[in-house]
Amino acid sequence: MSFRLDGKRALVTGANTGIGQAIAVGLAEAGAYVIAAGRRSCAETVDLCTKVGGTAEELTLDLADLDAAVAALPDELDILVNNAGIIRREDSVAFSEKDWDDVMDVNLKAVFLLCQRFAKNALAAGRGGRIVNIASLLSFQGGIRVPSYTASKHGVAGLTKIFANEWAGQGINVNAVAPGYIATNNTEALRTDPARNQAILDRIPAARWGDPEDIAGAVVFLCAPAAKYVTGAVLNVDGGWLAR
């Protein structure tokens, strides 16, 4: 029972596909009632949650409109997973201010505001909760040609720690998961490029790309009673990439 989430209400952003979808399904399978949120339809995710014996609903949440997104966050939540994110690629010397602002707003400002709203509601109701933010290997490394993404994911790690410091004593645990190279639509171009694919695999001790379900398992753990003394952590789930 230490890994069950029965009776908990969880919201996952960016839950229409990939890692977010896998997290939503994992939480549902563990017994949580899942609100699958995204700017596109999450009907497929809701169906998958039902197929594993869970319960779920979808919620339209477009983080490009932050005021509306924050206002739409349900008051009664036990778990918040900030998974939604975007990326823009360009040499740093040519990177536009718009691409900087767009990425920072979705990847960092939205995380701050949604966590803030979640905590305000939880504290006002006298209940605890769990927040899991999806960070990145670029919370630890610099990368190339993704300055706003790198800055935003470093920021996600920092927000995770300050929120943990401020809210742990009031029953809200805040952690982050930093995925490695995961087989999703976002990495299809890398996986279909023989040279890039092999270079990546050569660096990963596990010798394979991660599956979205690998991230879901880590998130379920951090939301479960088994992790009640874990807060302020940034857990890299990367097949050993950072250890190399």
pLDDT (tens digit per residue) in 64-96 = 999 999 999 999 999 999 999 999 999 999 999
187 pLDDT above the threshold of 90: no
Q: Rounded mean pLDDT of 119-134?
A: 98
Query: CA-CA distances (angstroms) from residue 13 to 58, 128, 188, 192, 221?
Result: 10, 20, 21, 27, 18
54 pLDDT above the threshold of 90: yes
186 pLDDT above the threshold of 90: no
Strand, helix or coil for residue 175: strand
1 pLDDT above the threshold of 80: no
215 pLDDT above the threshold of 90: yes
Residue 31 counted as domain residue:
yes
Domain tally, the chain = 1
Q: State the burial class of residue 203 (Cβ atoms within 10 Å of its Cβ: 0-12, 13-18, 19+).
A: middle
Please, which pLDDT band fits residue 150 given cuts at 50, 70 and 90?
very high
Tokens of 111: 């995380």
Say what percent of the chain tops pLDDT 90: 97
Residue 102 counted as domain residue:
yes
Q: In terms of residue numbers, what domain contains 55?
A: 9-237
Residue 242 counted as domain residue:
no
Alpha carbon 230 to its chain centroid, in Å, reads: 17
What pLDDT score does 59 carry?
98
Average pLDDT of the chain is 97
Residues 60, 45 contacting (CB under 8 angstroms)? no
Residue 2 counted as domain residue:
no
Say what percent of the chain tops pLDDT 70: 100
Q: Rounded mean pLDDT of 176-196?
A: 93
Q: CB neighbours of 52 closer than 8 A, spacing ≥ 6?
A: 25, 28, 29
Closest CA relative to residue 198, chosen from 179, 181, 215: 181
Looking at 33, 149, 181, 229, which residue is catalytic?
A: 149
Question: Using one digit for the tens of pLDDT, what is the confidence trace for 27-38?
Answer: 999 999 999 999
Residue 231 counted as domain residue:
yes
Q: Considering the entire predicted model, what is its pTM?
A: 0.97
Backbone angles phi, psi at 10, to 5 degrees: -125, 140
CATH, residue 147: 3.40.50.720
Catalytic residue flag (residue 181):
no
Residue 3 counted as domain residue:
no
Q: CB neighbours of 228 closer than 8 A, spacing ≥ 6?
A: 173
In the chain, the N- to C-terminal Cα span, in Å, equals 35
111 pLDDT above the threshold of 90: yes
Please, which pLDDT band fits residue 190 given cuts at 50, 70 and 90?
confident
